[in-house]
Amino acid sequence: MTLDGWQQKYLEILKEFNYDRSREIRSAKILSALLKNKFQMNDLERKIRNKTVFIIGAGPSLNYSLTHLKKFKSFTKIVADGATQAMLENNMIPDIIVTDLDGNIEFLRKSAESKSIMIVHSHGDNIKKLPYATLFKYCIGTTEDKPFGKIKNFGGFTDGDRCVFLANHFGASKIILIGMDFGTEIGKYSKDRVYNRFVKIKKMKKAKSLLEWLASKSNTDLYTTSQSITGFKNVKLTDLQRLVRR
């Protein structure tokens, strides 16, 4: 079930960013038709329920966070799109990848071949990229609009905050953000194509506000290792081992 109150947040997003809802719905229908196999949610839930989950974003702080992240190989890692490249380059395989297919497709494909679960998001601007989803064996389709059939809605707007909404949806005991900065500096792994800097920063600001809204509703222990987020406790990278032992 989609998080209570999400529909209103989605309508606000449509208005704020001037998105065409009919294209959003069309995109979800196309993705549904492309996904031939219905993924078993139990497999996804087992990786998250009652576990400490690391959320890996593609912000500029990711570069110096990776050394610390390597110490937590046995923990579930949910990775936002472009950060997949950073993970693979550092010999770490994401458990779950949340992507709207803006990241480097080759790195996404390689991770999928290593059994990463792919959460592919459909929206009005990525219809032409949706066929890439057929490259992934373990794949779930999502939308920000009303879910149907094989298409789910766990909440969230950008790849980064969708990771957090996903972990919250399936009942993680702790959620720890790595490389989720939400500032004005764009990380080098953030996108695999030219982007509008103004729009990118506006999207990050919106994503941060959505996480603050989620924190007000969540029973999960929420932590961040970078920029402060209301409802998330700040933790230093050097203190992570002590935190996860609690």
Establish if 181 belongs to a structural domain. yes
Q: Extract the tokens encoding 179.
A: 């490389």
Higher pLDDT, 103 or 9: 9
Residue 140 is assigned to a structural domain of this protein: yes
Whether residue 176 is contained in a domain is answered as yes
Mean pLDDT across 120-143: 96
Tokens of 22: 């009919």
Q: Kindly state whether residue 178 falls inside one of the protein's structural domains.
A: yes
Q: pTM of the full predicted structure?
A: 0.95
Residue owning tokens 């005991």: 173
What percent of the chain shows pLDDT beyond 90? 84
How confident is the model over 61-74, as a mean pLDDT? 93
Q: What is the CATH number of the domain that holds 215?
A: 3.40.50
Q: Concatenated DSSP letters for 110-141?
A: HHHHTTPEEEEE--TT-GGGGGGGGG-SSEEE
1 assigned to some structural domain: no
Q: Model confidence at 193, in pLDDT bands (50, 70, 90)? A: low
Q: What residues does 75 pair with on adjacent strands?
A: none
Task: Please compute the mean of the pLDDT values over residues 148-173 and round it to a whole number.
Answer: 96
Cα–Cα–Cα angle for 217, 172, 95, nearest 5°?
130
Band of pLDDT at residue 185, cut at 50, 70 and 90: confident
Which pair of structure tokens corresponds to residue 107?
């790195």
pLDDT of residue 39: 76
In a domain, 228, yes or no: yes
Residue 53 · residue 176 · CB < 8 Å: yes
Whether residue 244 is predicted with pLDDT greater than 80 in this model: the reply is: yes
> Which residue in this structure is represented by tokens 């959003």?
24
Residue 191 confidence class, pLDDT cut points 50, 70, 90: low
Return the structure tokens found at 5. Answer: 């109150």
Return d(Cα 155, Cα 144) in angstroms, integer. Answer: 6
Q: Write out the residue range of the structural domain in which residue 54 sits.
A: 6-244
Q: What is the pLDDT of residue 231?
A: 98
Is the confidence at residue 130, as pLDDT, over 60? yes
Q: Is the pLDDT of residue 38 over 80?
A: no
Over residues 75-103, mean pLDDT: 96
Q: Domains in the chain: how many in total? A: 1
pLDDT at 183: 76
Alpha helices, H only, the chain: 6-17, 21-34, 41-48, 62-69, 83-89, 105-113, 159-169, 197-217, 240-244
Direct distance between the N- and C-terminal alpha carbons of the chain, in angstroms, rounded to an integer: 30
- The residues, any chain, with a CB within 8 Å of residue 20's CB and separated by 6 or more, are 124
Condensed to tens digits (0 to 9), the pLDDT of residues 132-158 reads 999 999 999 999 999 998 999 999 999
Residue 205 lies in a domain: yes
Task: Indicate whether 192 pLDDT > 60.
Answer: no
Average pLDDT (186-214) is 83
In a domain? residue 189: yes
Query: By mean pLDDT, which of 27-41, 72-86, 191-205 is the weakest?
Result: 191-205
Distance between CA atoms of 198 and 204, rounded to whole angstroms?
A: 10
Residues in Cβ contact with 163 at an 8 Å cutoff, skipping those fewer than 6 apart: 55, 56, 57, 78, 79, 80, 96, 98, 156
